[in-house]
Amino acid sequence: MKINFILDPLANLKIQKDTSLAMMREANKRGHELFVSMQHDVFLRDNLARIRAQKFNFTPEGFVLEPGLEAQPSAFDAIIMRKDPPFNNEYLYSTYLLEIAVAQGAKVYNNPVALRGWNEKLSVARFPQFSPEFIVTASHQLIREFLTRHQDIIVKPLDGMGGSNIFRLTLNDPNISVILESITQHGSHTIMAQRYLPAIAQGDKRIIVIDGTPLPYALARIPLAGETRGNLAAGGTGTAQRLSERDYEIADTVGKTLKQEGLFLVGLDVIGEYLTEINVTSPTGMVEIAAQTDCNPASIWMSALEHHHL
């Protein structure tokens, strides 16, 4: 297979820990050809989608890139969209271009229409039986009313990643006004507020779902002492653990819908008994799970992708 990965700049990737590179190593081990593109390498010339790409080869020291080429996206057996958020207008435009590419024969994972339609924070509203109480608004008054009702809440932007700009608010916090002004940009940006879940102390569990099926292990990202965010990017410690019955109930139920939507690789975030986020853009955690268990997520992902192309 010829597989093209749409990534963030390669200089930003951590060679030993990055999930995209783990996926690429597995593909390389199986003899597939690898190519890489950046977000703006996808473009439209008249009515035809085009993509610029460079062939990618691993070396003992890291990797090398061959000179670039231009092709129809359908020239690749699979295009793997792994560009990180923020999900801004440029990301939105990329989904439009990739949607056109799909209509012209390209196979894109995850489905660009679903990438556009499944906001990583808002999508928990599709599964109210699993989500904690929340409110989505730009109104300070409504957020304060929500805080009064629940006493202890988390506020977060709808387009971020890695725990950025996430705040915990309690009724006696002297910084409520400035935090709300900052995160909503004075009431002009919509955010999500969720009831604070004390189970975060035991970890924010990342459950990887591949082609609708959850892996048997989650990566519990345990916050630093005094921290409310478990994200590894925010200093959390990742500990692999088997799915609980509740974890599996959530992941299996959600996974069936994800598969129908063409969401091939997804990371669910579960705190305690509750689903808090559905990460569809560039979910991580494969390397840590592989290092701590007998489960190889990249191998499972690659086998599922190969099955799609039988």
Q: pLDDT tens digit string along 24-37?
A: 999 999 999 999 99
The per-residue pLDDT for 161 is 73
CA of 211: how far to CAs of 53, 111, 250, 261, in Å? 26, 12, 15, 10
Is residue 106 very low, low, confident or very high in pLDDT (cuts 50, 70, 90)?
A: very high
Cα–chain center distance at 12: 17
Q: Are 254 and 246 within 8 A, CB to CB?
A: no
Distance CA 23, CA 298 (A): 5
Distance CA 284, CA 146 (A): 31
Is residue 226 very low, low, confident or very high in pLDDT (cuts 50, 70, 90)?
A: low
Average pLDDT over residues 271-282: 97
Q: Is 229 a catalytic residue?
A: yes
Residue of 221, 231, 247, 261 marked active site: 221
Is residue 229 very low, low, confident or very high in pLDDT (cuts 50, 70, 90)?
A: low
- Per-residue pLDDT of 138-164, as tens digits, reads 999 999 999 999 999 999 999 877 667
Q: Please say if the pLDDT value at position 203 is more than 60.
A: yes
Q: Are 96 and 155 within 8 A, CB to CB?
A: no
Q: Please say if the pLDDT value at position 254 is more than 80.
A: yes
Residue of 26, 120, 247, 277 marked active site: 277
Q: Is 277 a catalytic residue?
A: yes
Residue of 4, 99, 119, 121 marked active site: 121
Average pLDDT over residues 259-285: 97
Is residue 204 very low, low, confident or very high in pLDDT (cuts 50, 70, 90)?
A: very high
* Residues above pLDDT 70, as percent of the chain: 96
* Residues above pLDDT 90, as percent of the chain: 87
Q: Is 221 a catalytic residue?
A: yes
Q: Is 107 a catalytic residue?
A: no
Average pLDDT over residues 159-186: 90
Distance CA 277, CA 284 (A): 13
Q: Is 261 a catalytic residue?
A: no
Is residue 4 very low, low, confident or very high in pLDDT (cuts 50, 70, 90)?
A: very high
Q: Is 121 a catalytic residue?
A: yes
Residue of 156, 204, 205, 261 marked active site: 156
Average pLDDT over residues 47-66: 95
- Higher pLDDT, residue 273 or 164: 273
The per-residue pLDDT for 108 is 98
Neighbours of 49 (CB within 10 A): 22
Q: Are 214 and 251 within 8 A, CB to CB?
A: yes
- Report, in this order, helix, strand and coil percent for the chain, each rounded to 5: 35, 30, 35
Residue type, 267: G
Residue of 110, 119, 231, 279 marked active site: 279
**Strand boundaries in 60-109, DSSP class E:** 62-71, 78-81, 108-109
The per-residue pLDDT for 152 is 97
Q: Is 110 a catalytic residue?
A: no
Q: Are 102 and 112 within 8 A, CB to CB?
A: yes
The per-residue pLDDT for 121 is 95
- Per-residue pLDDT of 74-98, as tens digits, reads 999 999 999 998 889 999 999 999 9
Residue of 18, 195, 229, 247 marked active site: 229
User: What residues have CB less than 8 Å from 295, skipping those under 6 apart?
Assistant: 215, 216, 217, 289
The per-residue pLDDT for 234 is 54
Q: Is 259 a catalytic residue?
A: no
Average pLDDT of the chain, as a whole number: 94
Cα–chain center distance at 40: 19
Residue of 26, 247, 269, 288 marked active site: 269
Q: Please say if the pLDDT value at position 257 is more than 80.
A: yes
Domains of the chain: 2-110 (3.40.50.20), 122-126+199-295 (3.30.470.20), 134-193 (3.30.1490.20)
